[in-house]
Amino acid sequence: MSIHRGEIIAILGPSGSGKSTLLRLLNFLEQPTKGKIYFDGTLVEDMPRIETRREVTTVFQNPQLLNRSVKDN
């Protein structure tokens, strides 16, 4: 799977098909058991987590917004 800079993608599928696992992998919350993940051409396990997490956004189906500013949410 390749996702290029600036692309917006949707991940769809039935329950149990791996959508949540894929999101956890893409957000660096889990390590893959097989294969490698590259981000901008660099192996993610060689990158600082805090910097890579700033580059990936997940928008959930039922977002939970706080009664605060857009920045705080």
Structure tokens given for 66: 């706080």
Cα(63)–Cα(23) distance, integer angstroms: 15
pTM for the full predicted model: 0.60
CA distances from 59 to 12, 23, 35 (A): 13, 10, 25
Cβ(30)–Cβ(24) under 8 Å?
Answer: yes
- What does each of the 73 residues of the chain score in pLDDT, given as a tens digit? 888 888 888 889 999 999 889 888 888 888 889 999 888 788 888 888 787 777 777 777 776 777 877 777 6
